[in-house]
Structure 1
């Protein structure tokens, strides 16, 4: 490779915050690293997103134990990416829940995704030797399901394709709070390498229709208040559209991936270059946008080898 992925050099420790975003509902955030969520019910706790390794999951558990001693009964995973799911074993939960589509993607590409992500972003796999293997759910659903933690109702829903084909969101009606996974980000680049650009905006519209009071996004600060929620949704929309439009124009004239890269940088750099993981995401975002614009509906599977080949083409 001409030079390393930007993420391979990102070794700085991130400051963890643990904010209450509704009564007994918390967002675990870490300056652009993957977020997790905590929902405390009458008798037990639900975790949203498991982190990349059991060692990193224990940082979430430490935060949980600072506010409750109730057992962790459920882990909900919004999609299949390794940095979100491979720490699940640490929680000892009775149920691990995913959407049907996300489970199918673990089967189809889970190992390749793990190998690819580990190569790209080694810091996020602190304690990788503690990972027991791929994470499979104990429970899945197609479009929606409801879990009750005592009297607390939690709705899990697939609202449409966006960051992946199998994204789900989690809504807690009594506090009108939502966990969106990587469908919504805040001052962090969207990772679109497995995304569906043509659907993402409609899925954001579906989230907006809930008119929630707070969102825990996939990365970045917790979004508290309707104004902050709305701003983050529209900013995410702008990021996705600003990535796809220039790549699609290049594809329409039978241009090259390198030309798409240059065109996306010209549009996105002025607006987003200071966002967390921007340089890490950009090559994968451009490659997927270019593919989709050329009619490749299903994102191609990333492998460690494909990552390198793509990166070398962009450097060329």
Structure 2
């Protein structure tokens, strides 16, 4: 168990009308909070049961009489879902694929942490935080959907939308139309470049963001999975970077370049370090020719 609390850096900060955001030190994960007449929605729950409990405590300290009726997971990864277990009484919403993959992805990440806790100080976590991750019991979503869903808070409606694959195949946007605010999870990151892991879709990610941009205007507050809220221009810029990644990797695959060469050959069009694109390259190789490469 963690020996000290790790609450939000500056509490829940209002980024739009009754829409709040907090950043927590471990993995620099953001948590959203949308208030309505009939309760509240929490968006993402951090990386363990302990950390989820800290979110509940932070909400109660700032809003003593608030009822958390709903939780939404932006995607399947542990740093956004493992805290679900702390939200007793709330209905948890997520994409269908989160329900499908939560147990297998949890087994994967727990195996990785058990084998190698990693470089904790760089990402704000400690050995105790890793122990909390490993000890967490999973709680999956209660309600899932394929393309869209809504949560009625009495005086406002929150919309959940899946518009394509990117960071994972189950990424969703949480839209608060009356406040012109959108939470995009790890489809967008502000405190680091996007994470292109072994379950990402580099050839489709930019088009998924293009689809989301149809609901984002110049004044829209866009909340990423990690980092500070951003605007439309930031989303467009990161979309263009991800398009470049997909184009370069596609060219290399179709040209017949061996995967190992593609993972180490520089290209001025690539916006991110090569060492952070190795998994993305493997995903592209598998997607374009599943029979020729090991399954992702």
TM bucket, shorter chain = 0.7 to 0.9
Residues 147 and 116 of structure 1: is their aligned pair in 2 closer, same or farther, counting only changes over 3 Å?
A: same
Cα RMSD over matched residues? 3.1
**Residues 1:284 and 2:283 are matched in the alignment:** no
* Cα distance in structure 2, aligned partners of 1:188 and 1:264: 20
* Structure 1 residue 47: Cα displacement: 0.8
Q: How far does residue 140 in structure 1 lie from its aligned partner after superposition?
A: 1.1
Unaligned runs of 5+ in 1: 1-12, 224-228, 302-316
Q: Quote how far apart the aligned CAs of 1:209 are.
A: 0.9
- Residue 239 of structure 1 aligns with which residue? 241
Partner of 2:75: 79
Q: Tell whether 2:84 aligns with 1:88.
A: yes
Structure 2 residues without counterparts, runs of 5 or longer: 1-5
**How far apart are the structure 2 equivalents of 1:239 and 1:272?**
8
Aligned to 1:306: none
Count residues in correspondence: 277
Is it true that 1:135 corresponds to 2:139 in the alignment?
yes
The alpha-carbon distance between structure 1 residues 59 and 116, as it changes in their structure 2 partners (threshold 3 A), is: same
1:54-69 matches, within 5 Å, as 54-69=49-64
Q: Check the 8 A contact 1:246/1:264 in 2, yes or no.
A: no
CA distance in 2, matches of 1:291, 1:121: 27
Alignment equivalent of 2:108, drawn from 105, 112, 117: 112
Q: Which residue of 2 aligns with 1:25?
A: 19
Return the offset for 1:265.
Answer: 6.7
Separation in 2, partners of 1:300, 1:22:
43
Hey, what's the Cα distance between the residues in 1 that align with 2:209 and 2:243?
A: 12
Please state if 1:144 is matched with 2:151: no
Aligned pair partner of 1:255 in 251, 257, 261: 257
Residue pair 2:98, 2:170 contacting (<8 A) in 1 also: yes
Shift of residue 86, structure 1, vs aligned partner: 0.8
Looking at structure 2, the residues matched to 285 and 16 of structure 1 have their Cα atoms a distance apart, in angstroms, of 32
Per-residue CA deviations over 1:173-201 (Å, capped at 9, x if unaligned) read 11011111111222422112212223222
Partner of 2:249, secondary structure, is helix
**TM-score where L is the length of structure 2:** 0.80
